[in-house]
């Protein structure tokens, strides 16, 4: 048989084959990619005609070799089996076929055709099936809970030790008369896995838009906030925050302050944007103070009861000791509404220099039921029907919460316990030129200028 050489267009492998393979689809013996054998050069030798024999001793005449395909058909694919005796250079086990006897030729052709069909099916599964499988697997992984948000079930000893530390923490915070602290609050949220189907459950799953990220929803959100906090009995407080947030590629800065002094309660906010001027308000003193005091008392009563704690805090246990800002700390971990919460507790003061929430944990319907049960028992006056409606909506979107990845961390860098604080310590220095707006029922007492 006449042969010619060509190179694989995929990997450049030199291949030698008979001219009868021209126009057929084969697999490259090197890279295994499907390729089409090009037309043989015109100068390739024609196949030698078989010798003439007498009718009584001659083998059945060989089928005529098909002429080379026209140039317009050079890329046509075919699954026809090669004629007997043709070989493909580099194919494993390629040997000239023996002359069939009796019905052996038919059997060989049937087996060869079956093998070709089977090989085509396997190649199709590999070529088309694996990418689809990978896509399906990636979608399934995105629905799973964040491994970093998992909390191992603690031993009974670890739980008892954690409860003992919590009791000492409660005593330490209860006995504080004043505190001055400074720290950093950081947040990182990755919401890029959320799709249109997640936020719109009514959307058909096979819709073109179902797998796309919702228009207008950011993918990455980061925030770093520097905090300054003061608190003193009976109800004076001072919280100032300087925040730098980045939403995808947009950076937003904000200054926020809220304080309560003997002049009343005030709030200041500045987004540092030309179109949004800063706001400065005096809040309704008595109403807000009483509401905050009542809410704080309810919260304290709720969390003083261990039965209420166990409604939202699961798998609480003491873990390995760690250091924060040079302070030797106990660490406690637990699940709160399915999310991992880690708390660092100073061994000397039993105050908290750092806490962290890791998002993306699985939220069960039982978690939602427990949270709403606690909420209804002291944090709201909404009627039961309204709470049930809210709870149904929350359960509908818990799979979306599982697809969020991120952490929220608060670190106290400076801390003074029971410092001596004056009235001026609870007045924020508002920039000049910002007009004060008094809300209804606000005390008309002029605020005392803050110390520089």
Confidence at residue 53, expressed as pLDDT on a 0 to 100 scale: 38
Say which residues have a Cβ less than 8 Å from residue 282's Cβ, sequence separation at least 6: 264, 265, 266, 436, 437, 438, 439, 442, 443, 447
**CATH code for residues 147-438:** 2.50.20.20
Tokens standing for residue 446: 């002029």
For residue 77, pLDDT beyond 50: no
For residue 307, pLDDT beyond 80: no
Please tell me which of 23-37, 110-124, 333-347, 377-391 the model is most confident about, judged by mean pLDDT. Answer: 333-347
Q: What residue ranges do the domains of the chain occupy? A: 1-95, 100-143, 147-438
Task: Read off the pLDDT of residues 412-429 as tens digits, 9 standing for 90 and up.
Answer: 999 999 999 988 899 999
pTM of the predicted model as reported, rounded to 2 decimal places: 0.64
The pLDDT of 283-294, averaged and rounded, is: 58
Confidence of residue 130 (pLDDT cuts 50, 70, 90): low
For residue 405, pLDDT beyond 50: yes
In the chain, what percentage of residues exceed pLDDT 90? Answer: 38
For residue 207, pLDDT beyond 80: yes
For residue 271, pLDDT beyond 50: yes
């Amino acid at each position: 048989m006449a042969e010619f050489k060509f190179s694989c267009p995929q990997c450049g492998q030199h291949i030698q084959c008979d001219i009868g393979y021209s126009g057929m689809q084969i697999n490259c013996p090197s890279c295994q990619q499907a390729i089409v054998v090009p037309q043989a050069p015109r100068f390739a030798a024609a196949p030698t005609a078989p010798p003439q024999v007498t009718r009584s001793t001659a083998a059945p005449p060989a089928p005529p070799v098909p002429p080379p395909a026209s140039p317009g058909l050079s890329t046509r694919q075919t699954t026809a089996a090669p004629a007997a005796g043709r070989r493909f250079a580099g194919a494993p086990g390629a040997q000239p076929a023996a002359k069939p006897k009796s019905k052996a030729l038919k059997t060989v052709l049937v087996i060869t055709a079956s093998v070709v069909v089977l090989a085509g099916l396997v190649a199709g599964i590999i070529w088309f099936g694996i990418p689809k499988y990978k896509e399906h697997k990636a979608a399934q992984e995105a629905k799973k809970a964040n491994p970093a948000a998992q909390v191992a079930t603690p031993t009974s000893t670890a739980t008892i030790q954690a409860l003992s530390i919590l009791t000492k923490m409660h005593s330490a915070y209860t006995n504080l008369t004043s505190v001055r602290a400074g720290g950093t609050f950081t947040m990182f949220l990755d919401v890029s896995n959320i799709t249109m189907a997640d936020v719109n459950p009514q959307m058909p799953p096979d819709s073109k838009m179902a797998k796309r990220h919702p228009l207008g929803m950011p993918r990455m959100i980061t925030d770093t906030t520097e905090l300054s906090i003061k608190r003193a009995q009976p109800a004076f407080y001072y919280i100032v925050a300087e925040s730098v947030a980045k939403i995808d590629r947009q950076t937003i800065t904000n200054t926020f302050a809220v304080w309560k002094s003997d002049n009343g309660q005030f709030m200041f906010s500045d987004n540092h944007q030309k179109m949004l001027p800063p706001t400065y308000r005096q809040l309704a003193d008595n109403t807000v103070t009483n509401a905050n005091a009542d809410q704080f008392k309810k919260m304290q009563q709720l969390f003083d009861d261990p039965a209420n704690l166990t409604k939202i805090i699961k798998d609480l246990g003491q873990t390995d000791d760690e250091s924060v800002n040079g302070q030797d700390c106990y660490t406690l971990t637990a699940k709160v509404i399915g999310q991992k919460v880690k708390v660092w507790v100073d061994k000397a003061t039993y105050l908290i220099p750092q806490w962290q929430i890791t998002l993306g944990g699985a939220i069960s319907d039982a978690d939602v039921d427990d949270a709403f049960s606690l909420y209804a028992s002291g944090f709201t006056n909404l009627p039961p029907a309204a709470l049930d409606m809210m709870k149904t909506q929350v359960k509908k979107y818990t799979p979306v919460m599982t697809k969020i990845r991120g952490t929220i961390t608060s670190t106290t860098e400076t801390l003074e316990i029971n410092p001596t604080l004056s009235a001026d310590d609870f007045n924020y220095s508002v920039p000049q030129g910002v007009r004060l707006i008094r809300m209804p029922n606000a005390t008309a007492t002029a605020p005392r200028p803050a110390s520089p």
